[in-house]
A and B are shown apart, each in its own frame.
Chain A
Amino acid sequence: MSAIKIKLRENDLQQLKEVCSSFNNEAGELINVLHKAQSIFGYLPAEVQEVIAKELNVSVAKVYGVVTFYSFFTMVPRGRHPISICTGTACYVRGAEKVLDEFKRILKVPVGEATPDGKFSITGLRCVGACGLAPVVLVGDKTYGRVAPDGVKEILKEYEDK
């Protein structure tokens, strides 16, 4: 499992238990519980999965299996400004790969990781359904359309002091 070890604070633990009980601690609600948990913690470290497994009365392996199956769930923390580059087909033929390369080159991190200062992280994303704007980049919730490699610096500049 993840190399990052964290210790859950008491109120985090309480919050997590409340999430589970809001779904009646039902094993069938595992995916909904994980969505909620990830929106609270930003990611799903092993410790969070262990608590959920216990609350829903399923094995940790089952929870881990589900977390690693779906690309929406992550076990590593994302940056404060997570950058998602759409790599769907429409974006691909309009040059998304070059845009992705440019982000990797400037930020010096591979896909799936965050910068050492925790500011940015890069992920590839499969189609946000905004193919008319291809290639598309999301920073947090903000969408940038028709991004060219030489526009990457501009985008990052917006987050200079944030």
Chain B
Amino acid sequence: MSENIKQIRVALRNCGFINPESIDEYIAADGYEALGRVLTEKTPEEATKEIIDSGLRGRGGGGFPTGVKWDIARKVESDQKYVVCNADEGDPGAFMDRSILEGDPHSVIEAMAINGYCIGADKGLVYIRAEYPLAIERLKTALDQAREYGLLGEDIFGTGFNFDIEIRYGAGAFVCGEETALINSMEGHRGEPTFKPPFPAQSGYLGKPTNVNNVETFANIPVIFNKGAEWFASIGTEKSTGTKVFALAGKINNVGLIEVPMGTTLREVIFEIGGGIKDGKKFKSVQTGGPSGGCLTEKHLDTPIDFDNLLESGSMMGSGGMIVMDEDDCMVSVARFYLDFTVEESCGKCTPCRVGNKRLYELLDIISKGNGSNNDLDKLRNLGEVIIDTSLCGLGQTSPNPVLSTMDNFWDEYLAHVEDQRCPAGQCKDLIRYEVIEENCVGCTACARNCPVNCISGERKEIHHIDQSLCIKCGACFEKCRFNAISVS
């Protein structure tokens, strides 16, 4: 992370600064102080109120007020309750949860224990992707150390409070980020979501009241107690307090994680912190919120980023992935890419999501091949709206967002595909042709040598030709030519 005054580290405060495999270093950085103070000085109700006052909202995507969620679980009477950490970071392009678990696992453990105390749970579970072996290993090490130090287990800090944490593994299903699906998966079932209500706070894991929060949300908790709810609420905007970690990726100069106060603008994030677009190309769009989010454009660059503004712009916060795209990216293919993802990840339980997304994908496929009509564009929009209105869970309720937002913001591009059978970005394979510009070709043979299907012919120092019947449109010739002698049309 580059040093930048616009960045404030709250969730990532220890990442890269302390040895994640040493509990002593975490303790030296005020670790487990919040847990100690909460257990010895506050009632569960007071501690929960502190979180409500901080204004912290769930960092996993939904943005539900964390303290309110805790309070609901706290008030439900039950002999057994559970705390669950959602570490099933399935959103492609987001990796903040992995970083926190690999760089500062104790902060999550401490927060889960605080959560357990607040709602009256003595058992926590971390549901983590099997694709993150290092995070799993570090978390296991941290759990062993915390037990050894008596910070997990029985009678923590001599207060009579018991709490321990177990690890559960995901198995590669995006929908398991949805809390009811996650709970089903933890119980050993297919990860299919169920209707809410009942909410997990009423009936969750094994039918018991369960509070589910995301890794980044938990990482914020100890700081709120150490520095105070007021301090936390002073960062960010009125309705979205604190900071947010974003994963910058795509066609941007500085890729990686950043942490900025809520309310920072996209322009500051992309052009100041991110260092602008790669290779001096033109900024076209930034995709936020993963497969549930939308593509924002130039006109949104000065919008302050918070939960509500992003929703209003037709996208969402999601878990904080930000994929930057430049002029070479075709928005129809981007929408198709996301739908391909959704079709594969839809659990199949409800019809609008299972069938509707498939149809959306097919329509986009037809359009990107140049066979679409204006009627297909109407269908695309109508169907998208129906899927949003009628799907069972968050996956289906948001999956048409990439389509609808690109239609709103890049309508010309859709029209070009449909009316002129043209892909303005030159990305849709069926609509483009690579050709040699004869006056520029010097016969260096670079294109012919790099063509994977050997469809370019020509002698050294003579003009080359592309055999269109064999060309697979991989673009290798275009990339290798140093004389601007290959055109895409």
Cβ of A29 < 8 Å from any Cβ of B?
yes
Q: CB within 8 A of A90: which of B89, B93, B347?
A: B93
Q: Choose from B132, B188, B474 the contact partner of A129 (Cβ within 8 Å).
A: B132
Do the beta carbons of A70 and B290 come within 8 Å of each other? no
The number of chain A residues with a CB under 8 A from chain B is: 37
Q: Is the CB of B255 within 8 A of A131?
A: yes
Q: Mark A76-100, 1 if CB is under 8 A from B, else 0.
A: 0000000000011110111000100
A28 to B132, CA, bound (A): 22
Known: A92-B337, A132-B256. A73 touches B171 (CB 8 A): yes
A65-B190, A69-B190 as given contacts; A149 in contact with B172, CB under 8 Å: no
Closest to A125 in B: B131
Given A35-B130, A131-B249, A66-B172 contact (CB < 8 Å): no
Q: Find residues 295-354 in chain B having any chain A CB closer than 8 Å to their own CB.
A: 321, 323, 325, 329, 334, 337-338, 341, 344, 347
A71 touches B172 (CB 8 A): yes
Q: Which residue of chain B has the shortest Cβ distance to A91 in the bound complex?
A: B92
- Chain A residues within an 8 Å CB radius of B207: none
Residues of A close to B130: CB separation below 8 A: 35, 72
Contact A66 B174 (CB under 8 A): no
Closest to A88 in B: B92
B169 close to A (CB within 8 Å): yes
Q: How far is the CA of A71 from the CA of B92 in the complex (A)?
A: 15
Fill in one digit per residue for B18-43: 1 if any A CB lies within 8 Å of its CB, else 0: 00000000000000000000000000
B485 at the interface (CB under 8 A from A): no
In this assembly, does B185 line the interface, its C-beta being within 8 Å of a C-beta of chain A? yes
Q: Which of A122-157 contact B (CB under 8 A)?
A: 125-132, 134, 149-150
Which listed residue (B98, B174, B188) contacts A28, Cβ 8 A?
B188
Secondary structure dominating the interface of A: helix
Partner of B191, one of A35, A69, A94: A69
- Interface check B137, CB cutoff 8 A: no
- Give CA–CA (A34, B171) in the complex, Å: 10
Select which of A73, A89, A102 is within 8 A of B93 by beta carbon.
A89
CB distance from B253 to the nearest CB of A (A): 12
B434 lies within 8 A of chain A by Cβ: no
Give the A-B contact count at a CB cut-off of 8 A. 113
Contact call B452/A126, Cβ cutoff below 8 A: no
User: Chain A contacts of B132 at CB under 8 A?
Assistant: 129
**Which residue of B is nearest A95, CB measured?**
B475
Query: Smallest Cβ distance from A99 to chain B, in angstroms?
Result: 10
**What are the residues of chain B within 8 A of A27 when measuring CB–CB?**
188
User: Number of B interface residues, CB 8 Å?
Assistant: 48
Report the minimal beta-carbon distance from B364 to chain A, rounded to whole angstroms.
15
Tell me the minimal C-beta distance from B370 to chain A in angstroms: 18
A12 interface residue, CB < 8 Å from B? no
Q: Render B170-212 as a binary contact track against A, CB cut-off 8 A, 1 for contact.
A: 1111100000000001011111000000000000000000000
* Contact A131 B188, CB 8 Å, known A69-B173, A71-B171, A89-B321: no
Of A31, A89, A105, A130, which one neighbours B185 at CB under 8 angstroms?
A31
Q: Output the least CB separation between B442 and chain A (Å).
A: 21
Those of B231-269 within 8 Å (CB) of chain A: 247, 249-251, 255-256
List residues 333-382 of chain B with CB under 8 A from any CB of chain A. 334, 337-338, 341, 344, 347
Considering the chains assembled together, what is the distance between the CA atoms of A66 and B474 in angstroms?
A: 38
Interface residues of B in 80-125 (CB under 8 A from A): 89-95, 98
Chain B residue nearest in CB terms to A73: B171
Question: Smallest distance from the beta carbon of A64 to chain B beta carbons, Å?
Answer: 10
Q: Is B409 an interface residue (CB 8 A)?
A: no
- B188 contacts A30, C-beta separation under 8 Å: yes
Q: Which residue of B lies closest to A89 (CB)?
A: B93
Instruction: Other than A32-B168, A89-B337, give 17 A-B pairs with Cβ distance below 8 A.
Output: A31-B168, A31-B171, A31-B188, A70-B173, A71-B173, A73-B172, A88-B93, A90-B323, A92-B337, A93-B323, A98-B474, A101-B474, A105-B452, A126-B92, A126-B174, A134-B250, A149-B474
Nearest first, the 6 A-B pairs at minimum CB distance are A88-B92, A129-B95, A70-B171, A90-B249, A30-B188, A72-B172
Show 23 A/B contacts (Cβ-Cβ < 8 Å), sorted by A: A27-B188, A28-B188, A30-B188, A32-B168, A66-B190, A69-B190, A87-B92, A89-B287, A89-B321, A89-B323, A90-B92, A90-B93, A93-B251, A93-B323, A98-B474, A126-B174, A126-B341, A127-B90, A127-B95, A129-B95, A132-B256, A134-B255, A149-B476
B residues with a Cβ closer than 8 A to A are 89-95, 98, 130-132, 168-174, 185, 187-191, 247, 249-251, 255-256, 287, 290, 321, 323, 325, 329, 334, 337-338, 341, 344, 347, 450, 452, 472, 474-476
